[in-house]
Amino acid sequence: MSTISDNLQHVRARIVQACERTGRNPATVRLLAVSKTFGADAVAEALAAGQQAFGENYVQEGVDKIARLRDEGQNGLEWHCIGPLQSNKTRPVAEHFDWVQSVDRLKIAQRLSEQRPAGLPPLQVCVQVNVDGGPTKAGVTPEDALALARAVAALPRLKLRGLMCIPEPATDFASACAVFA
């Protein structure tokens, strides 16, 4: 049975190989380990293997892990909220997470900005764009993405970092790239 450390080592090796094929510096790639459904012990094991950034899909599960690890002295980790965000969940996200990858409405962005404690750095956010109109995907339409990005960038407690786009699975590379053209 593979350990978390083994799995991380394997993924990092694949990242290096992909970077070598494309001429990219592997140091410019950041690995975000999705820790949803795994307990704080698994996160601690990944931390021991050098992983620093973690993604959580479930807000309360993420808040519980963040609190436990901070209580154990594990500070300096980077926590990303990666799932759809409802209005009633913005406060704990604003108070505990470092990033939100899934801002798809101005109302959510405004609440995050209003609820971000003044003693914390601005919350890093990505606007989620539904690039191919997939019915199972959340996100703003490509036509509305620029307006939302401008509105988010103007909010005082948020820092717009980019777009988050996940297209429907494609069977070949050219089809996958066409979605982003």
From first to last of the 181 residues of the chain, give the pLDDT tens digit: 579 999 999 999 999 999 999 999 999 999 999 998 888 889 999 999 999 999 999 999 999 999 999 998 888 899 999 989 999 999 999 999 999 999 999 999 999 999 999 999 999 999 999 988 877 788 999 999 999 999 999 999 999 999 999 877 777 778 777 777 6
CA distance 2 to 15: 19
Radius of gyration of the chain (CA): 17
Question: Where along the chain do its domains lie?
Answer: 30-178
Pairing between β-strand 99-103 and β-strand 158-165 as defined by DSSP bridges: unpaired
**Residue 175 to residue 181: CA distance in whole angstroms:** 10
CATH hierarchy code of domain 30-178: 3.20.20.10
Instruction: List CB contacts of 13: < 8 A, sequence separation 6 or more.
Output: none
Q: How far apart are CA 108 and CA 25, in angstroms?
A: 35
With beta carbons less than 8 A apart as the criterion, state whether 166 and 172 touch.
no
Global confidence as pTM: 0.91
